[in-house]
Amino acid sequence: MKKKEILFDLKQPYVFKKVKIPKYVSYNPSYWLFHKQYFFKYPKHAQQDTGELVGEIVVSKLCKELGVDCVECGYAINEQKGHERRGIMSKSFLSEKEEAITLSEIRDKEVMKDYPKELYFQMMVVFARACPITFLFKFKDLHVVAHSLLYKHKMKSKLLMPFDNTFIEKNKKYLEEIKEKTRTENALNIDECERRIQMFATENGLTVSSDTRFKLQQMAIIDAITKQFDRHAGNISIIYDKKQKTARIAPMYDNGMCERFGIDAPIMDYPLQVNCHIKLSEKDIEEINNPKTEISQFFKSVCEFYQNGKAKQLFNSMKEEFCIMDSIKEKHLNQDSDLLEREKTDAYWAEAEQNYKKGLDYIKKELSASKSCRAIVEKMI
C-alpha cells in the first residue's frame, strides 16, 4: 500500500472531507487518518481560539530551525456536513514495527507492582461505571482513575453501585496512595525521566539510545523558552522496537500549550493542577555551562539564533503566512469561527517574539547564578 505524503504549507492548509467520529486524546477531540499515518486534532470548543493551534506550529518551526527533534505539523481543515473544523495535522513518528509508551504509563506500571494484582482490574471496572464518558473517550492514567473514584465516592455519586462504594471504602487507603504516587509531575526532572526510561528498557531487554539525555535537555530548554506548561509525563514518550531491541526518546509532541504566553504571562490552571514542565538538575546546568559538552554547543546555537536576528526573521515570516491563512480561513470557515483578526496580528507576533526572548534571558541568568539543584524553569510557574 502506497503511503500518503502530505506537505504542510501555511499558505495553503490541507483540506480533507473524510468524516470520522472524534476520539478524545487528552482534552481535545482527535483521530488518526490514512491508516495511522497522520494525526488530526482540533480545539474542544471550536468557537474559542485558545492559541493551541498557533503554538503547535510555532514550536514545530522553531525546533526545525534549531535542529531539535519535533513532530512536523501544519494547519488542516476537516470539512464536515454543514460545518468545518480547523485543526492541526501531524505526521506519525512511528514506523510499522515500532511501538511507543509514555513515561506516565511506565510510572503507572511501576506503582501497581506494590499492590494486589487484581486491584487494577477492579479499579477500571468501577471507573467504567462511575465515569463512562471519560472511560470511553479520554486517557485513563492511574492518577485520573484514583482521583475520580475518590471524588465520586466523596460526592455520593448516583452512578456508583452499592458494591462500587464498598470497593472504594475498602481500598480507600490504596487509592489515596496510588493518587499521590502517580502525581509526580511536580518533581519531574531529567534524572527521573531517564530513570523511567532505563527501567523500562532493562525490563524489556532494550538498549537505550546514547543521545537520550541530550534530547531531554533540548526539550527542557525549548520548553523553558516557550513556557510550556503541558509537558507532563504523558507528553514524553519513548519509541521501542522489540525485534531490534532498541529504545529512543520520541520527538517533541503536544506543544500547543505555550506559544505567546511567555515569562510574564499569568499562571494558568491545568486540569487536576498538574505542574507540567521538565526541570534541569544541577548536573544538567553544569553541562550547559561547560563549553565542551554537546548541550552547551546547542544552547550557544540557541543564543546565536536570537542574537543574529534569525528569530526575528522566523517570526516575521510566520506572521505573513498567518495573515495569508486568515484570508484562506474566511473562505473555508463560518464567520462565527475562531479567526485571528488581521489588525491584531502585528501586536500578537511582537508579543510572542518578546516573550521568547525573555525566556532565553531568564535561562541565561539562572545558568550564571545557579548553585543549587533547583531547575532553571522552576521559578517560571
Query: How far is residue 253's CA from residue 244's CA, in Å, rounded to a whole number?
Result: 24
358 domain-assigned: no
125 domain-assigned: yes
Query: How far is residue 322's CA from residue 325's CA, in Å, rounded to a whole number?
Result: 5
pLDDT in the model for residue 200: 97
Query: How far is residue 144's CA from residue 162's CA, in Å, rounded to a whole number?
Result: 22
Query: How far is residue 279's CA from residue 51's CA, in Å, rounded to a whole number?
Result: 24
Q: Which residues contact 371 (CB under 8 A, 6 or more apart)?
A: none
pLDDT at 110 over 80: yes
Other Cβ atoms within 10 Å of 131 Cβ, number: 20
Angle between helices 282-289 and 345-369 in degrees, nearest 10: 100
172 domain-assigned: yes
pLDDT in the model for residue 210: 96
pLDDT in the model for residue 271: 33
The mean pLDDT of 106-135, rounded to a whole number, is 90
- Better-predicted residue by pLDDT, 91 or 29: 91
357 domain-assigned: no
Which residues is 24 bridged to in the sheet?
29
Q: Give the tens place of pLDDT for each residue, 190-219.
A: 999 999 999 999 999 999 999 999 999 999
Helix (H, G, I), strand (E, B) or coil at 117: helix
Angle between helices 172-181 and 142-154 in degrees, nearest 10: 140
Q: For the chain, give the percent of residues with pLDDT over 90.
A: 34
Query: How far is residue 56's CA from residue 290's CA, in Å, rounded to a whole number?
Result: 31
Helix (H, G, I), strand (E, B) or coil at 154: helix
192 domain-assigned: no
294 domain-assigned: no
Range of the domain at 140: 105-181
pLDDT in the model for residue 248: 97
Mean pLDDT of the chain: 78
154 domain-assigned: yes
Q: What is the reported pTM?
A: 0.82
Per the structure, how many domains does the chain have? 1
Q: For the chain, give the percent of residues with pLDDT over 70.
A: 70
CB 238 within 8 A of CB 100: yes
pLDDT in the model for residue 297: 93
Q: Please tell me what DSSP assigns to residue 293.
A: S
The C-alpha torsion from 107 through 109 and 152 to 155, rounded to 10°, is -50
Comparing 53-57, 121-125, 185-189, 260-264, which segment has the lowest mean pLDDT? 260-264
pLDDT at 100 over 90: yes
pLDDT in the model for residue 324: 57
Other Cβ atoms within 10 Å of 256 Cβ, number: 23
pLDDT at 188 over 70: yes
92 domain-assigned: no
Q: Please tell me what DSSP assigns to residue 372.
A: S
pLDDT in the model for residue 269: 35
Q: Give the tens place of pLDDT for each residue, 323-359.
A: 655 555 555 444 444 444 433 456 666 766 676 666 6
